[in-house]
Amino acid sequence: MDPEAQDPHAVDGLPRLVGERVRRHLPPDASLGLWDPDADLTDLGLDSLGLAGLIVDLETTFCVVFPEELLVPETLRTVHTVAAALAALQGRAGRRSWGCGRRE
């Protein structure tokens, strides 16, 4: 069985989880027909207010705090770059899965 299917909070499923969070902060008319985790989030319609909400959402959902050095355009450009930043934070914390002890 696929490990992501067993535990959707496993590190391997991180890009999918980040993508789900990103979608919540895109405008309702955002074109998501061909979802690409390497698409520039601003091209998908994420504005500065949406980005601020996304950061808070990610910090709350994944029980992390983005340090100032990760709050740069290069880190927050795509689903994959955001997921890589979260994985780096996970490595610092020694975690194998995500969440604050709750499932959403």
Q: How far apart are CA 6 and CA 86, in angstroms?
A: 20
pLDDT for 12 equals 60
pLDDT for 13 equals 85
Give the model's confidence band at 6: pLDDT under 50 very low, under 70 low, under 90 confident, else very high: very low
Other CB atoms within a 10 A radius of the CB of residue 58 amount to: 24
Q: Kindly tell me if the per-residue pLDDT of 100 is higher than 70.
A: no
Q: How far apart are CA 78 and CA 54, in angstroms?
A: 12
Q: With CA atoms as reference, report the closest residue to 97 among 5, 36, 14.
A: 14
Bridge partners (DSSP) listed for residue 97: 10
> For residue range 19-76, what is the model confidence (pLDDT) as tens digits?
999 999 998 887 665 578 999 999 999 999 999 999 999 999 988 999 999 999 999 9
Q: Which residue has the tokens 């996304």?
A: 54
Q: How far apart are CA 100 and CA 104, in angstroms?
A: 10
Q: Kindly tell me if the per-residue pLDDT of 10 is higher than 50.
A: no
CATH top class, domain 3-26+40-93: mainly alpha
pLDDT for 103 equals 45
pLDDT for 36 equals 86
